[in-house]
Amino acid sequence: MPRALHHSRPSPGHPERPERLTALRDGIRRSGLEPRVELLAPRDATREELLRVHAAEHIAAVAATAGGARQFDADTQAGPHSYAAALKAAGAVTDAVERVLDGRLDRAFCLVRPPGHHAEADRAMGFCLFNNVAVAAAHALARGLSRVAIVDFDVHHGNGTQHTFESDRRVLYVSSHAYPFYPGTGALAETGRGEGRGFTVNLPLPAGMGDGEYARIYRDVVEPIGRAFEADLMLVSAGFDAFGGDPLAPMALTASGYSELAAVCLAIAAGAAQGRAVFVLEGGYDLRGLAASGAAVMRALLGDPTPTVVPTGRAIDPLIAEYRRAFQPYWPILRG
């Protein structure tokens, strides 16, 4: 965590700031959960691990910022310690995957910074330098896993993660996100390429969706597809920017809603993955929302009872029907 806190503080008022991690950690501590978890220091990602996802030129460009600064795009900056923090972020997730696969941990929650799911193979974007979840998924495949599931409930579409695996049927990528919205990708018709067609599942959402709507979508669409895929490992891009009041997003989730999302992800992981799951922090810029929602997800990871969320009924039937029409050809389970 200290390296993550030293990652460049962008310009004043920038939402991706060190206080995000402090708030999340404080929320877990105030909820009385910290004594029940094992705190682990992250390791650096290796060059070999990064090269499975990123071009050598991109790795060199990020490395060149060490001790200096660079503006990659209008949103994405690096400062003197950002490269070190990015290595720790990707390394933490990869290390968590190793520990879970080796049986040293049941599951993990990686509180990392900078986030990762927007980072493309050859460029930084959207506050992200290296794609932490993609690096970890590629590492799991390199270790011999046959199928890895990634669920991304950040309010922004994870363009970098999708593009990394959209031709690879070994990786199921499911993303629920506001649309149309930054970064402009993630349309319903984006279902993968070549042999990977059908293994990219985008669930674009209109603004204003809250706990009931998310619960319905995750129970009726995400969970059946996830169970049918029978992944050996569940990775979760846990973005908390769909929280109501987040300054960058138009959604209305509460901490109870995030408990529900975590519960669905863990229900999927309870199948072929035998409970093996790694959750990874992505976005979330309302500090109070981060604290409350992060603690709610941690409770779910610890196996505590989660609040009951009643799925929304007929109001979103047309949206559910649209999802079913798009994915029934690939996932017959949705025909029921």
Query: Which of the residues 7, 81, 118, 157 is marked catalytic?
Result: 118
Contact 93, 110 (CB under 8 A): yes
Helix (H, G, I), strand (E, B) or coil at 244: coil
Comparing CA positions, the residue from 173, 251, 259, 158 lying closest to residue 213 is 251
Contact 273, 233 (CB under 8 A): yes
Beta strands in 45-185 (DSSP E): 70-71, 77-78, 107-110, 148-152, 171-178
Residue type, 260: E
Distance between CA atoms of 37 and 90, rounded to whole angstroms?
21
In angstroms, how far apart are the furthest CA atoms of the chain? 57
Catalytic residue at 118? yes
Distance between CA atoms of 327 and 322, rounded to whole angstroms?
9
The DSSP letter of residue 312 is: P
Determine how many CB atoms are found less than 10 A away from the CB of residue 272.
Answer: 17
Which are the catalytic amino acids?
A: 118
